[in-house]
Amino acid sequence: MSITVPDQTDQPGRSRQWRRANFVAGLSILSVVVATAILSFFWTPFDPTRVDSSKPLLSMGQQGHLLGTDQFGRDLLSQIMVGSQTALFVGILAVSIAIVIGIPIGGFAAAHRGLVEDVVMRISDVIYAFPPVLLAILLVAAVSPGTGSAMIAIGIAYIPIVARVTRGASLSIFERDFVAAARSYGRGQTFIFFRHVLPNILSVLIVQMTVLFSLAILAEAALSFLGIGTQPPTPSWGRSLRDAQTFVQLTPRLAIWPGLAIALTVLGFNLLGDGVRDALDPKLEVDRL
């Protein structure tokens, strides 16, 4: 089975300035998202979970509700603000799970060529064949719906991706002279991996992490949209879209704003990833014709 690592040598976004612009744009977008998440811990225009039957479906700007209210009279802007906490939280935890488990597995496979490697990679191949969202759906169903299980499920689903990328990048490093030197020194494989190999593949992994972060946010949104992710009353963008679905014919506004929040955050991470790739690995700047 062939490996799909997102194409890393020839991404659109060519000149150095263009990439720097990507990086700055990504960073700016994410600063806004993170600032919003932090702000929403202390202040939101209205209580995001307060149901007020006297003012359902207010349109934008009515009674001080900047983005209006949903069918339960909850303030949409406040919900989206608090939703950013959920999105970032899920991203951080899912990616952490994936790298904490995936990196050692990938490193182990790269360090021990032969049968061990074959077995590890074959298993990872099979998990890899499960689309992450499908695997997450099964895992969430197996435990119970909620933000916590969604994020663990997403993290587990991404372990094979991290393991593959780690192994792929480590293989050539393990062949290098300084690794042979360390080995002749009597260092063990584990030590060599963490001390000598890992620092050399860090740039690849960091880029991979930004990609996974945005994938995790999209996955959480999808799970919550299906009703098996974040449960009410905890605000989540995907959940808001689920609630909006019934009223989408009447008030598309309810679906537009949470969707834009998702798209903007994901865009931010993707742009940041492209920029980081360039900053950490100038060698990739070979895309000239």
Could you list the residues that contact another protein (CB under 8 A)?
Answer: 1-2, 4, 7, 9-15, 18, 122-123, 125-127, 129-134, 137-139, 141-144, 214, 218, 221-222, 225-226, 228, 238, 241, 244-245, 248-249, 252, 255-256, 259, 262-264, 266-267, 270-271, 287, 289
Q: Which amino acid does the sequence have at 69? A: T
Q: Is residue 216 classed exposed, middle or buried when 0-12, 13-18 and 19+ CB atoms within 10 A define those classes? A: buried
| CB 152 to another protein: min, Å | 13
Closer of 192 and 218 to another protein (Cβ) = 218
CA distance linking residue 219 with residue 151, whole number of Å: 9
| CB 153 to another protein: min, Å | 10
Closer of 14 and 50 to another protein (Cβ) = 14
Other C-beta atoms closer than 10 Å to the C-beta of 126 total 11
| CB 185 to another protein: min, Å | 37
Q: Which amino acid does the sequence have at 29? A: I
Closer of 78 and 224 to another protein (Cβ) = 224
| CB 188 to another protein: min, Å | 30
Other C-beta atoms closer than 10 Å to the C-beta of 95 total 25
Q: Are 129 and 224 in contact (CB under 8 A)?
A: no
The H-or-E segment that residue 254 falls in is: helix 253-280
| CB 94 to another protein: min, Å | 16
| CB 69 to another protein: min, Å | 19
CA distance linking residue 248 with residue 159, whole number of Å: 36
Packing angle of the helix pair 76-111, 115-129 (nearest 10 deg): 160
CA distance linking residue 179 with residue 189, whole number of Å: 9
Other C-beta atoms closer than 10 Å to the C-beta of 145 total 17
Closer of 163 and 179 to another protein (Cβ) = 163
Closer of 4 and 53 to another protein (Cβ) = 4
Closer of 39 and 141 to another protein (Cβ) = 141
| Sign of the CA dihedral running 48, 54, 57, 60 | negative
| CB 16 to another protein: min, Å | 12
Closer of 190 and 245 to another protein (Cβ) = 245
Helix (H, G, I), strand (E, B) or coil at 75: strand
